[in-house]
Structure 1
């Protein structure tokens, strides 16, 4: 079985500027690319799981999202980062684009995207991590059976409730490789 780092996108990988859908507004959070390089060297699958309700809300199109995603993958490859998969949910129950207006199992806090990846890549969820900046990210990780849910403080403001749903709270994804190494080298007394 494989171990994975499941990552939210906006607020975790890139600066969350509210409905980011074009290259001009996409900025990687400082040092996250370096962290992804290290995580790949640690033999983790890197899987992005992102809610993109802006599609259902009519703020941008699925094609806009896919174009930005292709650019992001290309940019990360230039920096020696291979993303194993990207799952996205374009749905929202209050969307105005009929095609995407619905309640679904893939929209976080539901675990659908994570469970699809588990099956596709034979992921050991207990030894995997969900990294995100919201309570919904943490709840999706819990529902999918993720062993360690990591709340980052680089996106949305953390609340006591979101903090209570996390196993770890760190400043940014950039710190994850070191935190994993520390925890793996810490033995109970």
Structure 2
């Protein structure tokens, strides 16, 4: 079944799906989803939307954890979402640090380009980009994504700065956005 870009929701991970930490999420034990986020993802999926994840994981480049540990976290995320009746179509991650000159670290759009390719789309115009930081939203701009800021994670601080949020929808958390989207989106 071909994907419809306007029915794709791209989520940042840390601070949107799970609690964030200034010390990085370095293990499966430290990966703690927000109570309502797993069900929100499942609700989006059950409503016929496609959910993908785009996440910077510079803790790998910094030596705090490895890709095998990240895979365990993502397997647990997928397991919990599937258990709730949902699905994550693709998880794109950037393992690089800020100085690595890659094209995938948000605010660059490389992770969204990976998602676009994985889903076999010509573009992501009209997709939703949900994040808790300005760089999440900036990654979606050149791809034509509609920006959504959640106040979880670093979202409240991002909102308080008020810079670069023109045209951005703001919600308390992923569940709040999901409630709004499912009430306002046409199938």
TM-score range, shorter chain: 0.7 to 0.9
Structure 2 residue 174 is matched with structure 1 residue 142: no
> Counterpart in 1 of 2:95?
90
Q: What's the secondary structure of 2:48's corresponding residue?
A: coil
Structure 2 residue 8 is matched with structure 1 residue 10: no
TM-score (norm 1): 0.85
Shift of 1:165: 5.1
* Structure 2 residue ranges without an equivalent (≥5): none
> Counterpart in 1 of 2:109?
111
> Counterpart in 1 of 2:149?
151
Tell me, in whole angstroms, the C-alpha distance in 1 between the residues paired with 2:82 and 2:137: 28
Structure 2 residue 82 is matched with structure 1 residue 77: yes
Shift of 1:116: 1.9
Structure 2 residue 30 is matched with structure 1 residue 25: yes
- Structure 1 or 2, whichever has the larger Rg, is 1
Q: What's the secondary structure of 2:29's corresponding residue?
A: helix
Q: What's the secondary structure of 1:125's corresponding residue?
A: coil
Q: What's the secondary structure of 1:143's corresponding residue?
A: helix
Tell me, in whole angstroms, the C-alpha distance in 2 between the residues paired with 1:153 and 1:118: 26
Tell me, in whole angstroms, the C-alpha distance in 2 between the residues paired with 1:81 and 1:89: 24
Tell me, in whole angstroms, the C-alpha distance in 2 between the residues paired with 1:93 and 1:25: 23
My pick for the range that moved more, 113-122 or 158-167, is: 158-167
Structure 2 residue 36 is matched with structure 1 residue 38: no
Shift of 1:52: 0.2
> Counterpart in 2 of 1:170?
171
Tell me, in whole angstroms, the C-alpha distance in 2 between the residues paired with 1:40 and 1:56: 32
TM-score (norm 2): 0.86
My pick for the range that moved more, 3-12 or 113-122, is: 113-122
> Counterpart in 2 of 1:130?
129
- Let me know the Cα RMSD of the aligned residues: 1.9
Tell me, in whole angstroms, the C-alpha distance in 2 between the residues paired with 1:25 and 1:143: 33
Shift of 1:163: 5.8
